[in-house]
Structure 1
Amino acid sequence: MTLRERGTGDPAPRELAADLVVDATGRASRTPQWLAALGGTPPAEEVLETGRAYASCLFDGDAPPRGLRGFYIVPEATAPLGAIVMPVEDGRWTVTLSGPRDLAPPNDPGAFVEFAHRLPHPAPHTWLSTAHPAGRPVGYRHTANRRRRYDRLGRDHGGLLVVGDAACALNPVYGQGLSVAALTALALSRALAAPRTPTAHTLQRAVLRAAAPAWDVATGADSPMPGATGNAVRTGPTARLLTRYLDRVRAHVPGDPVVCTANRDVLFLLAPPRTLLTSPRVLRRTLLGTPVPTPRDLPTP
């Protein structure tokens, strides 16, 4: 392995012998380019780009009206703007607004609050209008779903293990990155605890499996988005039928606690995506029930 030290007066590269190299450098990992430069085979990539953008900001403000712990508006094809308002420490709230890149949330506090007026429900803007920003919003534009298939490289790359966003980067608007990191750590821990020492290839497959549910959720939600591109976009009759069903699931989320809980557990990786299709209660309520929309007026104290 060739290294070049940063922050020193000597930029000359040096060699470091290693039995295993772990790449945890994140979404901007350059391992594919380095493999190609060494004459090796870079991994195949699965990509789904929706061109989404988001911005986050901390606010000081009173708690929402009784019964509400925050706001969560999930973007979808017909309503591509989203919002998450959640309490954090010291009585503050973290607010994330998202939208297509040509309708990106601004980084100016006043414009940020005004942007919330465009959301499909007025509650976040109503609350933000009474809160006070604790700083400037910070925007983010690199939101493509990208999975690098190091698991397919085989034994020729037995001394390399790629983890985290370097292996599978998800649209961060769904907030799954840290959960995937924790699931990956558990998967690697189980593999390493086996009686027989696993190969790097076995560990790489464990990394892929740990991230698979989140990948299915993110790409499933992003595929119907306007302008979605890439070889991981789901198309065809089966994908369209699944999208229609999931649209019905989301329509029932605001007013049906059973469907809402099931959808939340899948989105937050507490349950596998198939539970939305295999639970008799969720199927019955989704296909036979009448959706109850979220009231436009907030509950009064």
Structure 2
Amino acid sequence: MGNGRAVVIGASLAGLLAARALHESFEEVVVLDRDTLPQQPEPRRGVPQSSHVHGLLTRGSQEMERLFDGFGAELAGLGAPTFDVQDDMRWWLGGRPLAKGVSGMTALAASRPLLEFVIRRRVQGLANVVVRPEHTVDDLLCTAQGDRVVGVTATAAGQRVSVDDADLVVDASGRGSRSRHMLTALGFPQVEEERIEVPTVYVTRRYRREPHHLDGRAGASVNAYPGNVHGGFVLAQENDTWIVSISDRFGGVPPTDDDGMLAFAETLDSPDVATIMRTAEPIGDPVKMRYPASTRLRYDRIDQFPAGYLVTGDAMCSFNPIYGQGMTVAALEAGILRRLLKDGTTDLASRFFAAAAAVIDVPWAAVAANDLRLPKAVGDRSMLDQRRGAYLERLRRAATEDPVLATAFLRVTHLMDPPSALFAPEIAGRVPA
């Protein structure tokens, strides 16, 4: 094992996955979270998106299975539906549904509280991992020279406590991470931020699922596109429930009353969201979430960074949640950390940030390619290639008729294939000029 203590800031998915990666290389792993952690699957304050739609991409399911043997079977045993991402879903792109077909890719449709509960229970079962709730991290502890992080200070039960003697501290505290500000205060360079601003408001509600709904399909997705910034998503979940979200952008706010929600859903290209609202029994009240922008902090471009410190998950890159990429990227980053630690901790930050950047590049480019098509979106459009964009638009249209193209598109969406796969000769040959 060779290393002493590792400290993880945050017990959400990214933090728990990081703890799983660290436990093989450290004698002790301490996970700190400011919340009171629930003893059953339920939303919590520190994960504001937990009440909204979550679907684990196929690549994410595979990566989590590598970290937790039997992960998929455990979730299925707890009632999480599994389904073929093409045959059992209806995807609407630009006002038209993708062609039906069997993709061979399986997805898990577990709620975020259930996913987090299962993973937290697995991590807490590791002998050298301790999860400490109700610990709010206040600051970093550093060496006198300021070149190495050796722990954190936190507030617990109104008292100031220190968790020190750490060989590694990992910030997985999410979008509210203070890492870049704490590092600047220590004299390290400013971290470059990239933003794609598509201010979005989501309204989500659960409904009772019955076998006849949507002809037995697992759900439907309606994306926003130029000319129509409304979106919707309906997905089967555990306990015979649907989770249904509607969204509006650039100042629009979906209603939260029954009649208003239904009227909004009826403006969507797909009838599926409105069908569930009209025919299924609602469970609980609607909840609202605002998401201002996707943000990426370029720790990989800093030439000075303290030893003994890493940043992961949404604290490094926070994606528009409609694409479902965040959990998968967090799992990929945990896999990177696990692999790199086999070669020791020397120069770990630069190795980790470089490898993580290569992973993030793909979903970040996908967010840019989709969100920056909207004229009101704010972001760096210089990263977009107009010729590639025009080709992809033709591919999307053709994928509404061609199941092979639809599968290829979904394989990239689920991070199973790189975007370059859509330009392979056998795919390009099926796209009309």
Q: Give, in whole Å, the separation in 2 of the partners of 1:201 and 1:34.
A: 19
> Hey, what does 1:16 align to over in structure 2?
164
Superposition deviation, residue 104 in structure 1: 2.6
Question: Is residue 26–residue 164 contact of structure 1 (8 Å, CA) maintained in 2?
Answer: yes
Q: 1:109 to 1:212 in 2, by over 3 A?
A: farther
Matched, 1:272 2:421: no
Higher helix share: 1
Gaps of 5+ in 1: 289-301
User: Within 5 Å, which residues of 2 pair with 1:164-203?
Assistant: 164-194=313-343, 199-203=348-352
Say yes or no: does 1:35 pair with 2:180. Answer: no
Write out per-residue CA displacement over residues 48-96 of structure 1, whole angstroms, 9 at most, x where no aligned residue: 1111222222111334343633211122223322222111112111112
Letter in 1 for 2:295: R
Distance (Å, rounded) in 2 between the aligned partners of 1:136 and 1:162 = 35
Distance 1:192 1:241 in 2: 41
Corresponding position of 2:37: none
Tell me, in whole angstroms, the C-alpha distance in 1 between the residues paired with 2:230 and 2:396. Answer: 15
Amino acid of the structure 2 residue aligned with 1:138: V
> What RMSD over aligned residues (CA atoms) do the two structures have, in Å?
2.4
What SS does the aligned partner of 1:5 have? strand
* CA distance in structure 1 between the aligned counterparts of 2:344 and 2:180, rounded to whole angstroms: 32
Q: What displacement does 1:23 show? A: 0.7
User: Quick one: structure 1 residues 54 and 65, their matched pair in 2 at CA, closer, same or farther if it must change by over 3 Å?
Assistant: closer
Report the CA distance between 1:126 and its aligned residue: 2.6
Give the conservation status (yes or no) of the 8 Å contact 1:43–1:149.
Answer: yes
TM-score normalised by L of structure 1: 0.84
Normalising by the residue count of structure 2, what TM-score does the alignment of the two structures yield?
A: 0.60
Deviation, structure 1 residue 267? 1.3
* Aligned equivalents of 1:196, 1:6: Cα separation in 2: 28
Question: Alpha-carbon deviation of 1:4?
Answer: 4.4
What is the aligned counterpart of 1:26 among 160, 169, 174?
174
Secondary structure of residue in 1 paired with 2:198 = coil
State the distance in 2 between where 1:253 and 1:68 align: 20
State the SS of the aligned residue for 2:391: helix
What is the CA-CA distance between 1:162 and the residue it aligns to?
A: 0.5
Asked if 1:287 is matched to 2:432, the reply is yes
Report the CA distance shift for 1:221/1:137 in structure 2 as closer, same or farther (over 3 A): same
For 1:224 and 1:147, locate their aligned partners in 2 and report how far apart those are by CA, in whole Å. 19
- The alpha-carbon distance between structure 1 residues 263 and 104, as it changes in their structure 2 partners (threshold 3 A), is farther
Find the residue that maps to 2:232 and give its secondary structure: strand
- Tell me: CA distance 1:226–1:104, structure 2 relative to 1, closer, same or farther (3 Å): farther
Residue identity matched to 1:202: R
Q: Which residue of 1 aligns with 2:201?
A: 53
Out of 282, 287, 290, the position equivalent to 1:138 is 287
Contact conserved, 1:164 with 1:181, CA < 8 A, in 2? yes
Shift of 1:164: 0.3
How many angstroms apart in 1 are the aligned matches of 2:393 and 2:281?
35
The 2-side partners of 1:190 and 1:275 are apart by 26
Partner amino acid for 1:285? R
- Match of 1:224, SS state, is coil
Distance in 2 separating the partners of 1:252 and 1:182: 32
Which letter maps to 1:261?
A: T
Percentage of pairs with the same residue: 34
Which residue number in structure 1 is paired with residue 105 of structure 2? none
Mapped to 1, the partners of 2:230 and 2:222 lie a distance apart of 8
What does residue 260 of structure 1 align with? 406
Q: Distance in 2 between matches of 1:140 and 1:176?
A: 18
Give the CA deviation at 1:285.
Answer: 2.3
> CA 1:196/1:123 → structure 2, altered by over 3 Å: closer, same or farther?
closer
1:4-153 matches, cutoff 5 A: 4-11=153-160, 16-62=164-210, 63-66=212-215, 68-153=217-302
2: distance between equivalents of 1:184 and 1:61? 34
Change (3 A) 1:133 1:283: same
- Please state how far the C-alpha of 1:195 moved relative to its aligned partner: 7.4
Q: Residue 257 of structure 1 aligns to which amino acid in structure 2?
A: P
- What amino acid maps onto 2:184 in structure 1? A
Greater strand share, 1 or 2?
2
TM-aligned CA distance change 1:122 to 1:60, over 3 Å: same
Q: Distance in 1 between matches of 2:324 and 2:214?
A: 25
C-alpha distance in 2, partners of 1:223/1:45?
17
Q: Is the Cα contact below 8 Å between 1:55 and 1:140 reproduced in 2? A: yes
1:292 maps to what in 2? none
Unaligned runs of 5+ in 2: 1-139, 142-151
Secondary structure, counterpart of 2:285 in structure 1: coil
Q: Could you report, residue by residue, the CA deviation over 1:114-137 in whole angstroms, capped at 9, with x for unpaired residues?
A: 211111232321332111221222
